Amino acid sequence: MIPKAGLAQVVALRDVDDVRALLDEMRVSAGGTSIMKRKALFRVVRVKGLDVRAANILKQEMLSRGGEVATSREVYEMGATEAECLIMGTLAQYERLLPKLRTQPFGLRDIADSIAAVLAHHDAHAPLFHPGLDLSRRPRIMGILNVTPDSFSDPGDHFDTDVAIEAAWRMVDEGADIIDVGGESTRPGSSRVPAEVEMQRVLPVIKALSRALPAPISVDTCRAEVAAAALEAGAFMVNDVSALRMDPEMVAVVRDAGCPVVLMHMLGEPKTMQEDPWYSNVVEDVYAFFVERLTRAVDDGVPEENLLIDPGIGFGKTLAHNLALVRHVDSFRSLGRPVVLGASRKRFLGDLLGLPEAKDRVNGTIATSVIGAMHDIDVLRVHDVRENVEAVRLTRAVFPAREN
């Protein structure tokens, strides 16, 4: 029992807005609120690849400001050259730490800039992005339109062009913000189809929809020629499950078109991706993958604001891998790019809930969408639009999106 003398309560605070609202409710002065609002938010930052001397300095500097730093044992081992740190502190402590680190040797100036960037990205309301897609309200709902005969989730449902067009309009009426049109199945074990076949499936649908559909169209492809033809036909963005790796010409297509592109993580290729997938740490490994892919894309001339990332639920992952990625999906926001979560009807939901039929996994999908909305994910890619729109609307009413 809680003692009657006084009423103690653990308060869950998500962001600066929550802190400010609580302090205002308590009638704290404006000056006090200004001082205290960043002292109430605790952040943990992991830093890898540090010079061991830098790790030692970082630890001492944060400790002197009241924070904590856990270091790998390499810091204390003779002959070690690299280490990693787990920094724990309030936003106010980081604000006092970073200027000091920028005066220190052993690469700490760059480390300070990196820490400042990931903190800013994590707490930002929305990353800078292509002006054609407004992310000031999030998450946006991307409706999945498979025009294939062999999709894992809805095989053949929209294979007919007229049926696909009707389905796209229905999804927009139900609240979809983007329609993602795909003409090649990427289900586990699937084989490639010729580019000509893929174009025959997607282009008539995209051309018809682009004339009047009030939502932008995405083309789900990893082929440059299909992407180029789809963009010419009226598509707005490209969703590439290979993150610009399968077709070396894809980067030139999206760069020259100036269009948004989703970079998705996949282990291997659809045909073999579920053959004993392994990671040392799936969240860390996928994060490192995106650092490399984003850097490569920007170096190749793709504007950073045109890039989105998708951790690739179900693409070369076990049940445990998928659950870890959903649980920690907000960690990818530290990269400063919009995050797409595509867990709709995926096999891991069926394995977990005992539902072998993909169309029976709507409730599980809704649960992942709620988790994504609570973590301020930018885009949710789903089959069942109305159900997910309603779930997101309720989640946003309870947990408003963060403000800058």
Contact call for residues 294 and 263 (beta carbons, < 8 A): yes
Q: Are strands 261-264 and 82-90 parallel, antiparallel or unpaired?
A: unpaired
DSSP-derived 3-state class of residue 221: coil
- Cβ–Cβ under 8 Å, residues 379 and 129: no
- Would you call 179 helix, strand, or coil by DSSP? strand
Peptide bond into 216 cis (omega under 30): no
Contacts of 272 (CB under 8 A, 6+ apart): none
Angle at 20 between CA 58 and CA 377, to 5 degrees: 70
Report the alpha-carbon distance of residue 136 to residue 401 in Å, rounded: 9
User: CA separation (Å) from 50 to 68, 108, 119, 396?
Assistant: 17, 9, 18, 39
DSSP one-letter code for 339: B
Residue 101 φ/ψ, nearest 5 degrees: -60, -30
In the residue annotation, 346 being an active-site residue is answered as yes
Catalytic residue selected from 37, 187, 207, 346: 346
> Catalytic residue at 381?
yes
| Annotated catalytic residue within 37, 317, 381, 402 | 381
Give catalytic residues, as residue numbers.
346, 381
